[in-house]
Amino acid sequence: MSPINVAKFGGTSVANAAAMNNCAEVVLANPATRVVVLSASAGVTNLLVALAQGDLDEAGQEAQLARLTEIQQAILTELGDPGDLSDLIHGQLGEIRTMARQAHLHTDAELADRLIACGELMSTRLFTELLRQRGVKACWQDARQLLRTDSRFGKASVDLAATRALCQAALGPLLGDSLIITQGFIGADGDGRTTTLGRGGSDYSAALLAEALDAGTIEIWTDVPGIYTTDPRLVTRARPIPEISFVEAAEMATFGAKVLHPATLQPAVRQDIPVFVGSSKDPAAGGTWIRASTRTNPLFRAVALRRNQVLVTLHSLNMFHAYGFLAEVFGILARHRISVDLITTSEVSVSLTLDHTGSQSNGEPILGDKVLAELGQLCKVQVETGLALVALIGNRMSEAAGVGSQVFDAIREHNIRMICYGASAHNLCFLVKEDEAGHIVNRLHQELLD
């Protein structure tokens, strides 16, 4: 069999029956597509996360449940309310209610994941029926039998070898025969307990399944026709990039371009699988190909923005000429599984920003009281919020003359809180006040990318 294509559709692409019909057209247009990975319908995961946080009273829960039911029922109605499927979806909604009622929900990460996973379980059931009604031989597959993770609920890590073995065994015999429809975002640990990969994780699921099945291509279908020079919601003059390298796209995803989950390109890079990003609403508009290398490698390719950044500054008078201070700080952060993004140091202090990417599915803050207390034993801790990280993405930036002046000239009236430059030839990042970030990105786009 020639290499297959794995196609992933995001929340807005499966928001309702009309959007799902567009997805069906896209799937049928590419005969290589054998596996389809879906997100929950738009808005559903947010509703489930609100329930999983466990702080709503019964009336509040019922309001969320009513909105959930409305979204799912609208699709069921378009499908003619087939009895079995209707029972299945309403059964799932009933389970959601039962889980939401559990008093210990907010402290039970396992239960929260089981609840949050229901969005993808329902959207895939509905889409499988839609395909069948269009005469397609489609087979619903539970992703928890494919994607093996550890037991870190809310942001599980994937066991690649086990996932490969499970995918090959479960899907290998089916691939030539029917179209597989499965869930993004969810998996299961070794005991079969449901886990999730962190918000936006369906892109990553698609890439993991593609890797496990030795796929030839991955398609990420979303609500924009490709990766743009910056978020088109922020800069109206942003334009789609026809071709971009794995490294640049990975930097964009890491530094906030929501169009791809930050981990998506890791499996693609490992197996050199080209990734296409396009709009399920307008497939004819084309999109972006992400590959190992590209024909052009411009100095400036794109700007990414990540809001809601936390800057932690640690002051220690003992740091001067002391060994091991940073090791202790990183030890504490590592024990709490917090990864550091940017770092700058001076004689008596170190400033770092924390990695929020692929943040926990259940909305838990990453800098909890326990970490702060442990750091507080070591040094004086200052936490600043209301910041945003701007990343300029491109090629050979650390080798070219004048990059700094071009960038900072364009935004000279703004205060820059922290700068990281030189560690990668593909980016220049800096922290700014969150309320100035929109203007800064617009200015940079106008000066460097227009």
- Cα separation, 4 vs 32, in Å, equals 5
Answer yes or no whether residue 248 interacts with ligand ADP by CB under 6 A: no
CB-nearer residue toward ligand ADP: 215 or 302: 302
CB-nearer residue toward ligand ADP: 144 or 258: 258
Q: Which residues of the shown chain bind Mg ion in the complex (CB under 5 A)?
A: 10, 200
List 22, 33, 39, 182, residue binding ligand ADP (CB under 6 A): 39
Answer yes or no whether residue 278 interacts with ligand ADP by CB under 6 A: no
Helices (H), 218-283: 246-254, 265-271
Residue 243 CB-half CA count within 13 A? 9
Determine if residue 9 is labeled as part of a ligand binding site. Answer: yes
Answer yes or no whether residue 237 interacts with ligand ADP by CB under 6 A: no
CB-nearer residue toward ligand ADP: 42 or 375: 42
Answer yes or no whether residue 183 interacts with ligand ADP by CB under 6 A: no
CB-nearer residue toward Mg ion: 129 or 203: 203
List 36, 79, 227, 367, residue binding ligand ADP (CB under 6 A): 227
Of 45-53, 138-146, 222-230, 266-274, which segment contacts ligand ADP by CB under 6 A? 222-230
Tokens of 67: 């909105």
Determine if residue 91 is labeled as part of a ligand binding site. Answer: no
The residue count for binding ligand ADP (CB under 6 A) is: 19
- Cα separation, 265 vs 433, in Å, equals 29
220: phi then psi, degrees, rounded to nearest 5: -110, 105
Q: Which of 392, 393, 441, 391 is CA-nearest to residue 414?
A: 441
In the block, residue with structure tokens 């829960």: 61
Total number of residues shown for the chain: 450
Q: Which of 55, 142, 154, 156 is CA-nearest to residue 113?
A: 154
How many helices (H) and strands (E) the chain has is answered by 14, 16
Q: Which of 220, 201, 222 is CA-nearest to residue 360?
A: 201
Q: What residue 257 binds from Mg ion, ligand ADP, ligand ASP, none (CB within 5 to 8 A, per partner kind)?
A: ligand ADP
Minimum separation from the CB atom of position 374 to ligand ADP (A): 34
CA 288, 293, 296, 297 torsion-angle sign:
positive
Determine if residue 8 is labeled as part of a ligand binding site. Answer: yes
CB-nearer residue toward Mg ion: 200 or 283: 200
- Cα separation, 270 vs 36, in Å, equals 21
Tokens of 450: 């227009």
Residue 356: C-alpha distances to residues 117, 265, 375, 425 (Å): 21, 18, 19, 23
DSSP designation for 186: E
- Cα separation, 126 vs 181, in Å, equals 10
Determine if residue 233 is labeled as part of a ligand binding site. Answer: yes
Q: Which of 258, 249, 159, 146 is CA-nearest to residue 199?
A: 258
- Cα separation, 45 vs 116, in Å, equals 6
In the block, residue with structure tokens 């479960």: 170
Q: What residue 119 binds from Mg ion, ligand ADP, ligand ASP, none (CB within 5 to 8 A, per partner kind)?
A: ligand ASP
CB-nearer residue toward Mg ion: 22 or 294: 22
Q: What residue 262 binds from Mg ion, ligand ASP, ligand ADP, none (CB within 5 to 8 A, per partner kind)?
A: none
Determine if residue 163 is labeled as part of a ligand binding site. Answer: no
Minimum separation from the CB atom of position 9 to ligand ASP (A): 10
CB 217 within 8 A of CB 275: yes
Q: Which residues of the shown chain bind ligand ASP in the complex (CB under 6 A)?
A: 10-11, 39-40, 45, 119, 184-185, 199-202
Q: Which of 100, 116, 251 is CA-nearest to residue 185?
A: 116
Tokens of 404: 């700094």
Answer yes or no whether residue 12 interacts with ligand ADP by CB under 6 A: yes
| Site mask for ligand ADP (CB under 6 A), range 282-321, x = bound | --------------------x-------------------
How would you label 106-140 residue by residue, b for 16+ Cβ within 10 Å and e otherwise? Answer: eebbebbbbbbbbbbbbbbbbbbbbbbeeeeebeb
CB-nearer residue toward ligand ASP: 155 or 199: 199
CB-nearer residue toward ligand ADP: 23 or 179: 23
CB-nearer residue toward Mg ion: 228 or 430: 228
- Which three-class secondary structure state does DSSP give residue 364? coil
Answer yes or no whether residue 200 interacts with ligand ADP by CB under 6 A: yes
Give Rg (Cα) of the chain.
23
Minimum separation from the CB atom of position 228 to ligand ADP (A): 4
Answer yes or no whether residue 206 interacts with ligand ADP by CB under 6 A: no
Minimum separation from the CB atom of position 12 to ligand ADP (A): 5
List 81, 177, 190, 233, residue binding ligand ADP (CB under 6 A): 233
Minimum separation from the CB atom of position 414 to ligand ADP (A): 21
Residues belonging to the binding site for ATP are: 8-11, 222-223, 228, 233, 258-259
For the annotated binding site, the residues are: 8-11, 45, 120, 222-223, 228, 233, 258-259
